[in-house]
């Protein structure tokens, strides 16, 4: 019998639920009171788990109990077990009622400011009882949350996170970055602008990430350093408000300009424009 089979014969969902309850409360006595067990019965259940896995799961402290490194691993995986079970229930309900269901979806700031709301609106018009839970995350965190099962899917740039064979990236379309400014900016009405000229103006840029990496590539090809950002922020709203003052340049994806609610005073500069793949 394999070690996994041996553990599966002795560990139940009830015991994993008790494990989570103890970790959540930080006290065996408190957890026992909350779930209606005696303290000795709960202690025996935890001891049985430790026996099944052959490791200590909790350390006793002056404040109660705290998970050991082994306990942290099992807690993380136990949370995943119940999350998978919850998703199974939701999927079965969705199959029984095609108009009902729940979707946890994440998007990068650019996707959340443009395409993602359009997608949700279109889907909701056909399935009005479908619930969406939306998280706005940078691309690296987005990939990690999908791998960790906290999100069902993510919409953004492909990221290097490959922690699980379950993570599959499917290209949907190509999106380009455009340099934009407010209508009152000195470059707003220029038809032809060089990259070097943009360096003489103030920039508001996203924090380190895919956009910054692509800017470094484009400017580097012409022997130029990336623009020094006067302001950095991941907030698309803040960037739009700053651009509207006429004092800054920034870059935005074409999908944001097409599907989002960018200010009407925003101007896409005639050049440069950058090509990148979603």
d(CA 273, CA 174): 13
105 pLDDT band, cuts 50/70/90, is very high
Among candidates 207, 1, 21, 17, which has minimal Cα distance to 109? 207
30-42 residue pLDDT tens: 999 998 999 999 9
d(CA 211, CA 157): 10
pLDDT recorded at residue 75: 92
185-234 residue pLDDT tens: 999 888 788 888 999 999 999 886 777 778 888 888 889 998 999 999 98
Ranges of beta strands (E only) in 147-207 are: 153-155, 174-182, 203-205
pLDDT above 90 covers a percentage of the chain that reads: 34
d(CA 99, CA 155): 22
Tokens of 247: 């004092």
Please state the pTM of the whole predicted model.
0.59
For residue 186, the 8-state DSSP code is T
With tokens 């430790």, the residue in question is 50
Please check whether residue 200 is in contact with residue 194, taking contact to mean a CB–CB distance below 8 angstroms.
no
276 pLDDT band, cuts 50/70/90, is very low
């Amino acid at each position: 019998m394999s070690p996994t089979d041996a553990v599966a014969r002795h560990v139940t969902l009830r015991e994993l639920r008790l494990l989570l309850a103890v970790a959540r409360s930080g006290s065996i006595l408190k957890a026992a009171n909350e779930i209606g067990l005696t303290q000795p019965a709960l202690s025996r259940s935890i001891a049985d788990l430790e026996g099944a896995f052959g490791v200590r799961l909790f350390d006793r402290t002056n404040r109660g109990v705290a998970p050991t490194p082994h306990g942290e691993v099992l807690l993380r995986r136990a949370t995943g077990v119940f999350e998978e079970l919850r998703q199974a229930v939701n999927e079965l309900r969705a199959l029984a009622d095609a108009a009902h269901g729940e979707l946890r979806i994440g998007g990068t700031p650019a996707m959340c400011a443009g395409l993602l709301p359009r997608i949700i609106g279109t889907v909701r018009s056909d399935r009005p009882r479908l619930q969406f839970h939306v998280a706005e995350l940078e691309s690296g965190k987005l990939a990690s949350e999908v791998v960790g099962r906290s999100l069902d899917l993510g919409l953004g740039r492909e990221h290097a996170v490959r922690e699980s064979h379950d993570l599959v990236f499917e290209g949907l379309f190509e999106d380009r970055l455009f340099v934009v400014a407010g209508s009152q900016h000195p470059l707003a009405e220029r038809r032809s602008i060089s990259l070097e000229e943009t360096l003489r103006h103030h920039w508001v840029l996203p924090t380190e990430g895919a956009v910054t990496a692509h800017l470094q590539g484009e400017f580097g090809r012409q022997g130029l350093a990336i623009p020094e950002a006067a302001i950095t922020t991941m907030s698309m709203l803040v960037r739009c408000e700053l651009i509207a003052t006429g004092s800054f340049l920034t870059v935005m994806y074409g999908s944001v300009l097409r599907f989002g609610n960018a200010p009407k005073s925003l101007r896409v500069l005639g050049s440069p424009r950058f090509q990148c793949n979603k």
